[in-house]
Structure 1
């Protein structure tokens, strides 16, 4: 009898991973809706060159899906190439998450926008990191 905790994820588990980018997207949409409803000027960030631009819902959805599916690709690759995919995934994704916090901290236009953008990053990490770790090959 094989030990499924140390084996590669089953096809069903691997297919189930698609849920995590979708859940992360729904979560960021909820944060965006709250921010949009509560911020007087809307959610804004400084673009390169110093221009201020509003962050619309399509951008939030698109970026979250791209990040989520890129993360899915990384965890899938780690599963295929490393026996300790779970540990590698957790370390790599945590470092990337911490580095990603520099973006909203420096580019959010005003305190409310910075907090909302930071919340979006935290929500995505809170869904993707443990979600994919649960399905990754254990040491």
Structure 2
């Protein structure tokens, strides 16, 4: 006969499962938010999300590019938070600061590329939308190292 799990053990496991679920939903939600803005910006409003850089052919940012460019930093951010939670008591503060720095730095490429004004606004909104979904959820689910 198997021993019953202690209430503390089952509470910890359910808390961990809840944190995992919330973070996975945040990642999915951040990608969905970016794609929703792409749908509104490009197909519906007709803003060209064509980015031109000196010496590089123009690149039209389609749905797959938007999905990848929002999924990659979301997963990297999640991984960083998991590492910080294992090694420091200040994971929440360090991660939040890093996330805000990355958000600010994500606007730097706008200085070296050419994109029409409507497209630039849509792209900027995508950056903010991804952060607006991820940062609060990851902050809320962060737990300090024991």
TM-score of the two chains, using structure 2 as the length reference = 0.81
Helix, strand or coil for the counterpart of 1:107? coil
- Counterpart in 1 of 2:118? 112
4+ residue runs over 6 A deviation = none
- Counterpart in 1 of 2:18? 13
- Measure the CA separation in 1 of the matches of 2:143 and 2:54: 39
1:116-135 equivalences under 5 Å are 116-135=122-141
Q: Deviations over 1:37-87 (max 9, x none)?
A: 2125x2111246243211010111112111111111011111111111111
**Are residues 35 and 106 of structure 1, via their aligned partners in 2, closer, same or farther at CA, if it must alter by over 3 Å?**
farther
**Are residues 106 and 38 of structure 1, via their aligned partners in 2, closer, same or farther at CA, if it must alter by over 3 Å?**
farther
**Are residues 88 and 52 of structure 1, via their aligned partners in 2, closer, same or farther at CA, if it must alter by over 3 Å?**
same
- Measure the CA separation in 2 of the matches of 1:48 and 1:128: 32
Q: Does 1:35 align with 2:41?
A: yes
8 Å CA contact 1:107–1:114 kept in 2: the answer is: no
RMSD over aligned CA atoms reads 2.2
Give 5+ residue unaligned stretches, structure 1: none
Q: How much has 1:107 moved relative to structure 2?
A: 2.3
- Counterpart in 2 of 1:101? 107
Query: Max radius of gyration: which structure?
Result: 2
1:26-105 equivalences under 5 Å are 26-36=32-42, 37-40=44-47, 42-47=48-53, 49-105=55-111
TM-score of the two chains, using structure 1 as the length reference = 0.84
8 Å CA contact 2:85–2:144 kept in 1: the answer is: no
- Measure the CA separation in 1 of the matches of 2:51 and 2:81: 30
